[in-house]
Amino acid sequence: MSGTSIYLDNAATSFPKPACVYDAMDRYHRESGAAVGRGAYRQAVEVQGEVDRCRQRLAQLLNAENPQRIIFTFNCTDSLNLAIHGVLRDGDHVITSVLEHNSVLRPLHELERDGKIQLTLISVDQAGVVNPEDFRQALRPSTRLIVLTHASNVTGAIQPCAPVGQIARAAGVLYLVDAAQTAGHLPLDVRALSADMVACPGHKGLLGPLGTGLLYLRPGLEHELRSVRQGGTGTRSEDEFQPATLPDKYEPGNHNAPGLIGLSAALKWRMEQPQGALQAHEQAMLEHLLDGLHAIPGVEIHGPQTATGRVGVVSVSVADQDPQIVATLLDQVAQVQVRSGLHCAPGAHRSLGTMERGGTVRLSVGAFTTLSELDRALEAFRQIAEIL
């Protein structure tokens, strides 16, 4: 990888990570290598301790009731699948939005195709935001679950998750929030969202390594959420069945110990930063990026036009050019790394009208994006827009 590359694909996974993440993972690989919860020797106990700390840090960050409410998974897709397949039963009705990522839409569409559930998709307004009232209107006696993304991974538009949560709670319907694009970017309080379950990747805004994710479970939800995988937990091995206790019920098999050690280091690093500094930095980068893009003739920004009501994920079109060509040129001209295409969220493109032209070019800032990187990327964008 070249040292002069400009990484603007933080919505896919964040890069770089804080240096302490690499150090912690390297130390684990070289000096320990032990599995979590499986041994009484020193290294195994130490690894278990670090994974416990990781859970505690996440519970604190998300305002969860206690660390046992945090279930480790392997990515946000894994968290969403556990939540969806774990709570739904034959005959249930589910409400979600057209904005959702395929990690929500595909499990739901498969269940619908198999005749197991009925599905209602809520559309968005001109600004790419859902109206909470539409969720209330869509409720049926058989509605069991509402799923909503906290922010679109295409336009960055923040969705009214707390009001939708209040509607779900009042109706006695379970509520799952997909916080893939907000965890680590916005203050995230699972209780203020009235959420029963919140799915987060560990490897995007939380700055942990790939292969990490989590699902927050509201107290008592373990009685409604089945485990979707069963196996060894290193506890109660004499039992024929999966333990009912948390987190073992949902964490069979070996953990991604190096990943969780890296995530724990990232969370510690995050807690050492001045209060609000990371969010303020990303907001400043986002404003600079939006200002620069607005000034380039032929570039159309989709979704919120200013830095208000959005996260640092910006989708653009350059005239009616194929986004793939723009992304390839950005890499070739100035080693700017962006995403092009549908970003696994086809419904968002249908509502934006960008489906036919192959989606959008997506630029996403992160904790380590700098103004000078953005200036170089914007200059490359300017040159490419002029040529095209």
Ligand X SMILES: Cc1ncc(COP(=O)(O)O)c(C=O)c1O
**Closer by beta carbon to ligand X, 73 or else 194:** 73
Using CB under 6 A, which of the segments 70-78, 121-129, 262-270, 301-309 binds ligand X? 70-78
Least Å from the CB of residue 3 to ligand X:
26
Question: Which residue of 37, 132, 165, 201 would you call a contact of ligand X, by CB under 6 A?
Answer: 201
DSSP conformation letters of 29-95 = HHHT-PPTTS--SHHHHHHHHHHHHHHHHHHHHHT-SSGGGEEEESSHHHHHHHHHHHH--TTEEEE
- Residues 17-56 within binding reach of ligand X (CB under 6 A): none
Least Å from the CB of residue 185 to ligand X:
12
- Whole-angstrom distance, CA of residue 240 vs CA of residue 202: 32
How many angstroms separate the Cα of 246 from the Cα of each of 34, 59, 70, 72, 223?
Answer: 22, 14, 9, 11, 11
- Whole-angstrom distance, CA of residue 7 vs CA of residue 207: 14
* Token couple for 326: 């723009």
Give SS3 for 175.
strand
Q: Is 180 a binder of ligand X (CB under 6 A)?
A: yes
Q: Is 149 a binder of ligand X (CB under 6 A)?
A: yes
Q: Is 264 a binder of ligand X (CB under 6 A)?
A: no
**Closer by beta carbon to ligand X, 76 or else 316:** 76
Q: Let me know: does 200 contact 179? Beta carbons within 8 Å.
A: yes
Q: Is 153 a binder of ligand X (CB under 6 A)?
A: yes
Give the list of residues 6+ apart from residue 308 with CB closer than 8 angstroms, or none: none
In the shown chain, the binding pattern of residues 207 to 236 toward ligand X, with x for contact by CB under 6 A and - for none, equals: ------x-----------------------
Stretch (H or E) spanning 28:
helix 19-31
Least Å from the CB of residue 232 to ligand X:
24
Q: Is 349 a binder of ligand X (CB under 6 A)?
A: no
- Whole-angstrom distance, CA of residue 111 vs CA of residue 225: 17
Q: Is 360 a binder of ligand X (CB under 6 A)?
A: no
Least Å from the CB of residue 270 to ligand X:
18
Q: Is 97 a binder of ligand X (CB under 6 A)?
A: no
Using CB under 6 A, which of the segments 46-54, 72-80, 190-198, 346-354 binds ligand X? 72-80
Q: Is 103 a binder of ligand X (CB under 6 A)?
A: yes
How many other β-carbons are positioned within 10 Å of the β-carbon of residue 333?
A: 14
Give the list of residues 6+ apart from residue 250 with CB closer than 8 angstroms, or none: 71, 82, 86, 215, 225, 227, 229
Least Å from the CB of residue 343 to ligand X:
7
Using CB under 6 A, which of the segments 15-23, 73-81, 217-225, 334-342 binds ligand X? 73-81
Q: Is 178 a binder of ligand X (CB under 6 A)?
A: yes
Angle CA(309)–CA(315)–CA(318) in degrees, nearest 5?
135
Burial status of residue 377 (CB atoms within 10 A of its CB: 0-12, 13-18, 19 or more): buried
Least Å from the CB of residue 204 to ligand X:
7
Least Å from the CB of residue 304 to ligand X:
16
Least Å from the CB of residue 107 to ligand X:
11
Q: Is the peptide bond before 247 cis (omega within 30 degrees of 0)?
A: yes
Applying CB under 6 A, which residues contact ligand X? 12, 75-77, 101, 103, 149, 153, 178, 180-181, 201, 213
